[in-house]
Amino acid sequence: MKQITLLALLFMAATTGLTIDFGQDKAGDTWRIVNDGVMGGLSQSSATLTEDTVLFKGDVSLENNGGFASMRTLITEGALKDCKTMTIRFKSSSTNRTFGLSLKNSQQYYIPYYKHTFTPKTTDWEILTVNLSDFKHYRISEVIGNEMPKKALDDVFNIALIISDKKAGPFDIEIDYITFE
C-alpha cells in the first residue's frame, strides 16, 4: 500500500506544472500575435518556429499611441495552480530592450494581470528562473502591486510574451522553452 501511495505521489509531482517547449514539442503553433494595431498603433511582429525554438521579432512603433508587440497563447485554466517558479531559456540581440512575461485571467486589456519583466544581459543563451510570487500586478502597463498572491494562479488561462518598454525600434528574442513548476 505504501509503495502505491509513494508511486502516486511521484507521478503527481512529475505531472505538476506546465512546460512549453518550442523545440521538442513545437509548442509555437498555439501562439498568436497581438500588436498595438488593435488600438490604432503601428507596431509589427512575427513569431516563427525554427527547428528548436520560436523567434519573436519585429519593430515597435510609438506612432498613433502605439508601443507594444506580443505573442500569446491560451492554457488550461488552473494548470499553474500549484506552481512556484517560472523558468525561461532565451537569447536576444536586443540587450537594450525589456520584455515581459504576463499571466492573465481575462482577455480584456483593462483587467489587471501579473507580469515579470526582464532585459537580456548577453546575446548568448540565458536561463532565467523567477518565483511566481515576484510577478508584479499590472493594469494597462502600470504597476499596481508588488507581488502575485498564490491564489491568482488558480484561474490563469493566458500567457503572453510582450515588449512594451516605451522604446521605438527593432527587437528580437528567441525562446527554447518556458517551464512553470
- Give the per-residue pLDDT at 7: 36
CA Rg, the chain, in Å? 17
> What is the predicted pLDDT for the residue at 10?
36
- Tell me the pLDDT band of 15, cut-offs 50, 70 and 90: low
* Separation between Cα atoms, residue 35 and residue 41, nearest integer Å: 8
Question: Cα separation of 141 and 109, whole Å?
Answer: 10
- pLDDT band at residue 11 using 50, 70 and 90 as cut-offs: very low
Phi, psi of 36 (to 5 degrees): -65, -5
For range 8-36, the mean pLDDT = 75
Which residues share a beta bridge with 127?
A: 89
If pLDDT is split at 50, 70 and 90, which confidence band does 168 have? very high
User: Across all residues in the chain, what is the average pLDDT?
Assistant: 89
Residue identified by cell 488552473 is 78
**In the prediction, which pLDDT does 25 show?**
73
- Is pLDDT of 175 > 80? yes
Mean pLDDT, range 97-112, rounded to an integer: 89
Contacts of 140 (CB under 8 A, 6+ apart): 109, 110
- Give the contacts of 32 (CB within 8 A, at least 6 positions apart): 71, 72, 73
pLDDT digits (tens, 9 = 90+) for 120-138: 999 999 999 999 999 999 9
pLDDT for res 126:
98
Can you tell me the mean pLDDT for 32-44? 94
Paired residues of 46 in beta bridges: 57
The number of C-alpha atoms within 13 Å of 78 and in the hemisphere containing its C-beta is 0
